[in-house]
Amino acid sequence: MAFGSFDSKGPGTTMSEINMVPLIDVMLVLLVIFIITAPLLSHSIRINVPQVTAQPVEQQPKVIDLAIDPSGAVFWNEQPVALDDLESLFAAESAADPQPEVRIRADMDTRYGELAQVMGAARRAGMKRLGFVTQPAAPAEPVAPAKKALAQ
């Protein structure tokens, strides 16, 4: 390490800079060590795993179609059923593995109380998958500028 300088400031001045050459040498040695040891750490025990060709099992989930008309009549897969018998039917289906999905189709004029009774019977019986079938709304027809001006 040098504490003096070669410039013309005078003989009594000291140099206060760090000599970087030894630090760079240490860094390069560490870099070479990491380059050599990194591939050794990534290899582990080699095992030849057997290869098998198999078709995936595709299960079609069972669906219970439950319809409620405006008068409050309930239909289980297009068959009429009494509202009091729903809980026993749901209990029998909830034991299946996988559990079927219940799709409820209710008319717009169906009373909320009847729909709540059906959903309550399904939950008490242990049904976990309930869904509602709806129709997508018709897209709004764009109003032409000439028609808009006439409408105003």
Alpha carbons within 13 angstroms on the beta-carbon side of residue 121 total: 21
CATH number (domain holding residue 97)? 3.30.420.270
- Tell whether 50 is covered by a domain: no
Instruction: Render 67-126 in DSSP notation, one character per residue.
Output: EE-TT--EEETTEEE-GGGHHHHHHHHHTSSSPPEEEEEE-TTS-HHHHHHHHHHHHHHT
Q: What is the mean pLDDT of residues 21-47?
A: 84
Q: Percentage of the chain surpassing pLDDT 70?
A: 80
Name the band, by pLDDT with cuts 50, 70 and 90, for residue 37.
Answer: confident
Total structural domains in the chain? 1
Q: What is the pTM of this model?
A: 0.52
Which domain range does residue 87 map to?
63-132
- Tell whether 125 is covered by a domain: yes
The residue behind tokens 């034991």 is 95
The answer to whether residue 19 scores a pLDDT higher than 80 is yes
- Tell whether 37 is covered by a domain: no
The answer to whether residue 5 scores a pLDDT higher than 80 is no
